[in-house]
Amino acid sequence: MPVSTTNFTLTGQTGFYRGKVRDVYYIDDIMVAVATDRISAFDHILPKPIPYKGQVLNQLAAYFLDATKDIVPNWKLSMPHPNVTLGVLCEPIRIEMVIRGYLAGHALREYHAGKRVLCGEVMPDGMADNEAFPQPIITPATKAEEGHDVDISGEEIVSQGILTQPVYDELVRITRALFQRGTEMAAARGLILVDTKYEFGWYKDQLYIIDEVHTPDSSRYWYAEKYEENQKNGRPQEHLSKEFVREWLMSKGFQGLEGQQMPVMDDDFVEVVSKRYIHLYEQMTGRQFVEGADDPETIERAIEGC
């Protein structure tokens, strides 16, 4: 049974926050992040949960957090259940560091609209859809509590006093290093890491990476072996990410804009989405996915047993 929501009262609980995907419980300076099976797109939560999506995201996030902790400290302490991560509570920086290696997704839509500068980064004229940028571009966005995130340039981040220049420069350095590591790990598994986003925070006056890293919710992946052929023939790239859900929504006339009606996924499409998430986990890690007990009661017992 998919986990669409949890409503625990944990021993010592001092706070609670429900995000688009995660239910987060606070116990003093420890956060208990429960990855539910909710799925969001265009900053809206879709009506139906996706079986095992939360487990896939949580386990993939842990996999990549462990693989990048030499680059930057992260919030993860332990994973007592496949859907749950315990970590240190950081003070979040309200900026998403988005990095793009290819002209795809939001950047492509802006490019088709005639824009050649995105968040202060130049996108050269004459680029083909899904073509690689000369070097990855960083296109930050404000981290909105509700509604849509908003594009912002590094210059604006500093001029508005959101971050100092040295801190922003450090985030840029870390972002590029993480993207390079993710690119190498994806290539080893026959994939291209197209773009992704990172979120950061402060813990004891040190920068930490928070939230997830390189999961299909925060990243876009393509199959490497088919990339050149698809580009040569002008075909769309085959991807393993949440982008196909966005494309399905757009085909139904929904992009999260005011007045648009959210379409409802039928059971067959829900199953397709679930299988794609599981396949990405196995493709990215080389590990077989093992279905966990993702009912709320089992999750709560695992947390209380820590």
68-116: pLDDT as tens digits: 999 999 999 999 999 999 999 999 999 999 999 999 999 999 999 999 9
SS3 call for 77? strand
CA-to-CA distance for 292 and 275, rounded, in angstroms? Answer: 15
- Supply the pLDDT for residue 295: 79
- Supply the pLDDT for residue 276: 87
CA-to-CA distance for 130 and 222, rounded, in angstroms? Answer: 10
Instruction: Give the type of residue at 45.
Output: I
For the chain, strand residue ranges (E) read 15-18, 22-27, 30-35, 40-41, 44-45, 76-81, 84-88, 91-102, 117-118, 121-122, 132-138, 141-142, 150-151, 191-203, 206-210, 219-223
Tokens 């993480």 correspond to what residue?
A: 178
pLDDT tens digits along 121-132: 999 999 999 999
Token pair recorded at residue 223:
């199959």
Q: Do residues 224 and 238 lie in contact, with contact meaning Cβ atoms separated by under 8 Å?
A: no
Q: Do residues 111 and 127 lie in contact, with contact meaning Cβ atoms separated by under 8 Å?
A: yes
Give the chain's length.
306
* CA-based R_g, the chain, Å: 19
**CA within 13 Å, CB half, 208:** 21
- Supply the pLDDT for residue 215: 87
3 contact partners, CB below 8 Å, separation of at least 6: 34, 36, 37, 49, 54, 83, 294, 295, 296, 299
- Supply the pLDDT for residue 57: 92
CA-to-CA distance for 101 and 94, rounded, in angstroms? Answer: 23
Low-confidence ranges of the chain (pLDDT < 50): none
Tokens 């804009």 correspond to what residue?
A: 257
Angle at 76 between CA 70 and CA 82, to 5 degrees: 120
The architecture of the domain spanning 91-245 is 2-Layer Sandwich (3.30)
- Supply the pLDDT for residue 147: 54
Q: Do residues 151 and 117 lie in contact, with contact meaning Cβ atoms separated by under 8 Å?
A: no
